[in-house]
């Protein structure tokens, strides 16, 4: 296969100064993309500011013969989101690729989590995703081309202890990407979710002594393909962790139909309701929403109460 390149493409990478984002920015630039490296340089908790990380990545890219510009705006505000995208427009005249990777962590149990810590994490991960998508998406649609990669997490899929704020935000990103995939389908804009696992500074405080190798370089090529013009999927979730790459899906059981239900009926049928032997998957694009409804309605209209397809 010929090398997949990004010549003449302009990419925006949020959280691009360290960890996963740095790997994404370096890889895209090494393949010819002009990159906006966005990172305000705050702490893991999202506090403070330091232009150094973003500028250092730009220096690395330039030293390797690539093109990049640093941007220290915060994704957490609408103004910051617009500023990040306009940095691409001001320097390179366009935006073809958006990777929303910016993140922070504030751990606390659900019993004790403060509203401030909840908001601070949702503001970066979820509202931050909306802020940059809202600024870039119309431009991509107008241009008839775009690739967006939004970052979720296994915490968003399955939850985890002490990160209700993070789990909520990462679950919300999936819905945002799905809508972007649906609304962008007619305009050549694709949106997918990366669910990465890598040891970065956001793993501080965790016991990683038994972890296999799982550096950012094992995730970056997956994001690179999702950013490329040959990417053949949209509205999907791709997992990349410790060298394993997989697709994650939302699935339903076939379920049970009754013309009426009582609490006791639910109790009596719960094992059949939950039977995952024949799962159903309704792809987001072209219209998983309507396919779900159609399947449910067809079951209701079946004489036997069981829909066979």
* pLDDT at 8 (0 to 100): 96
Name the region of 48 (left: φ>0; alpha: ψ -120 to 50; beta: rest): left
* Nearest-angstrom CA–CA distance, 256 and 233: 32
Express each pLDDT in 126-161 by its tens digit.
999 999 999 999 999 999 999 999 999 999 999 999
* Nearest-angstrom CA–CA distance, 190 and 248: 17
Q: Which residues of 200-224 are buried (b: 16+ CB within 10 A; e: fewer)?
A: bebbeeeeeeeeeebebebbbebbb
Question: Has 166 been annotated as catalytic?
Answer: yes
SS3 59: helix
Residue 245 contacts by C-beta under 8 Å, 6 or more apart in sequence?
A: 222, 238, 239
> Average pLDDT for residues 294-299, to the nearest whole number?
93
Express each pLDDT in 175-232 by its tens digit.
999 999 999 999 999 999 999 998 777 666 667 777 888 889 999 999 999 999 999 9
* Nearest-angstrom CA–CA distance, 163 and 195: 16
| pLDDT of residue 306 exceeding 60 | no
| pLDDT of residue 101 exceeding 70 | yes
Are 242 and 197 spatial neighbours (Cβ–Cβ below 8 Å)? yes
Query: Which ranges constitute the DSSP H helices of the chain?
Result: 19-30, 52-63, 78-92, 115-143, 154-158, 164-184, 220-227, 263-273, 288-301
Q: Which CATH code for domain 10-248? A: 3.40.50.720
**Which residue of the set 24, 92, 158, 166 is catalytic?**
166
* pLDDT at 309 (0 to 100): 41
Express each pLDDT in 12-33 by its tens digit.
999 999 999 999 999 999 999 9
């Amino acid at each position: 296969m010929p090398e997949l390149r990004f010549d003449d493409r302009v990419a925006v990478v949020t959280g691009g100064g360290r960890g996963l984002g740095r790997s994404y920015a370096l890889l895209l630039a090494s393949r010819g993309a002009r990159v906006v490296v966005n990172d305000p340089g705050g702490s893991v908790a999202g506090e403070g500011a330091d232009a150094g990380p973003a500028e250092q990545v730009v220096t690395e890219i330039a030293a390797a013969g690539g093109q990049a510009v640093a941007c220290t705006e915060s994704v957490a505000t609408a103004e910051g989101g617009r500023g990040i995208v306009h940095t691409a427009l001001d320097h390179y005249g366009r935006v073809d690729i958006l990777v929303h990777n910016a993140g922070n962590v504030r751990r606390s149990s659900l019993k004790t989590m403060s509203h401030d810590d909840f908001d601070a994490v949702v503001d970066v991960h979820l509202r931050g995703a909306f802020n940059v998508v809202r600024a870039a998406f119309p431009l991509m649609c107008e241009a008839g081309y775009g690739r967006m990669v939004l970052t979720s997490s296994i915490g968003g899929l399955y939850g985890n202890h002490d990160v209700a704020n993070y789990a909520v935000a990462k679950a919300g990103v999936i819905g945002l990407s799905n809508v972007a995939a649906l609304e962008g389908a007619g305009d050549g804009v694709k949106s997918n979710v990366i669910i990465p696992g890598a040891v970065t500074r956001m793993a501080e405080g965790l016991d990683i002594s038994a972890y296999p190798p799982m550096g950012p370089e094992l995730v970056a090529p997956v994001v690179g393909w999702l950013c490329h013009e040959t990417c053949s999927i949209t509205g999907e979730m791709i997992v990349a962790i410790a060298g394993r790459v997989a697709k994650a899906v939302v699935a339903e059981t076939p379920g049970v139909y009754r013309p009426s239900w009582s609490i006791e009926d639910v109790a009596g049928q719960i094992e059949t309701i939950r039977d995952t032997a024949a799962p159903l998957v309704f792809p987001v694009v072209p219209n998983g929403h309507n396919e779900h409804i159609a399947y449910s309605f067809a079951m209701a209209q079946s004489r036997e109460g069981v829909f066979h397809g």
